[in-house]
Amino acid sequence: MADTTGSEMKSGSFMLEKSAKIFVAGHRGLVGSAIVRKLQDQGFTNLVLRTHSELDLTSQSDVESFFATQKPVYVILAAAKVGGIHANNTYPADFIGVNLQIQTNVIHSAYKHGVKKLLFLGSSCIYPKFAPQPIPESALLTGPLEPTNEWYAIAKIAGIKMCQAYRLQHQWDAISGMPTNLYGQNDNFHPENSHVLPALMRRFHEAKANNADEVVVWGSGSPLREFLHVDDLADACVFLMDQYSGFEHVNVGSGVEVTIKELAELVKEVVGFKGKLVWDCTKPDGTPRKLMDNSKLASLGWTPKISLKDGLSQTYEWYLENVVQQKQ
């Protein structure tokens, strides 16, 4: 019986094509900028990059025209509309609509214009709210989603399924990677809508700068979370482009979990805040544990290289140089 999943497709040529034209969609974001740095470090010389003002990925005709004229050989799709719980609740139509438009336009035009391989990037929020821990790839679509970000999650699930559908119908090499919580340079350190790690870093830095006695953090500090440095994700993306051509999406995680309390203590140490850390247990904790099963990627031969301590130190250096200094 023929293999209908396309898993028989050959991999391993990506790293040999350093002059091939590669379109990195979303190259200014946390993920896209890390992928660009990694590709440049690896000696790739023909990256095609477009800002939002140069190419509106939600416009079908603009994307079609771009692929028709540029004809990239490879595509890494890191462009997305992202945001926290508040943004998802406030703009649900944007989170489902914009993301569906971006990925539908890019995936279809890439196939139509002869792209050799495409990598679609999603998020760990694709999994059910009560998925088993650690979360295996097989948990997808086995239960209800977390309601606070289901609009974004539905779009990302559709992207995975679109890649699989094009593989089944057209034998086209489209793969998907699902990263865990990411951090690193070019992260969002905004006081209102940043994620837990950059938010902690900013708060400890400002407390240190203001000689504050204490920093109050919401919750008990007991929930377990997993964090991956974005440079490790970029390394995994290059690895998948070169080594993986399977039907199923692949989790990209660190495999290491820390409590929010351990994370806060580590950030406090890296920043050099000497005051007290106070936990406000009247505030909610969120999900008790969220860890992705990274065994599939590990079995393919990839493991992360940057420890949380080293990654936090690098991120804080970047924050000081690029966020703090620019405000002064």
H or E stretch at 277 = strand 276-280
In terms of Cβ atoms closer than 10 Å to its own Cβ (0-12, 13-18, 19+), residue 86 is exposed
Structure tokens at 45: 């010389």
Length in residues, the chain: 328
91 included as an active-site residue: no
Q: Which two tokens stand for residue 62?
A: 């603009």
Candidates 152, 166, 244, 319; catalytic one: 152
- What 320-323 contacts at long range (C-beta under 8 Å, 24+ apart), as own/partner pairs, is 320/205, 322/185, 323/189, 323/202
Residue type, 305: K
CB 48 within 8 A of CB 106: no
Instruction: Please name which of 161, 145, 131, 119 lies closest in space to residue 24, comparing C-alpha atoms.
Output: 119
Structure tokens at 68: 């028709």
Reading the block at residue 59, the tokens are 């416009």
Q: Which residues on adjacent β-strands are paired with residue 226?
A: 257
Cα of 85 vs its chain's centroid, Å? 16
Q: How far is CA 312 from CA 69, 140, 224, 277, in A?
A: 41, 31, 17, 18
Residues with a catalytic annotation lie at 152
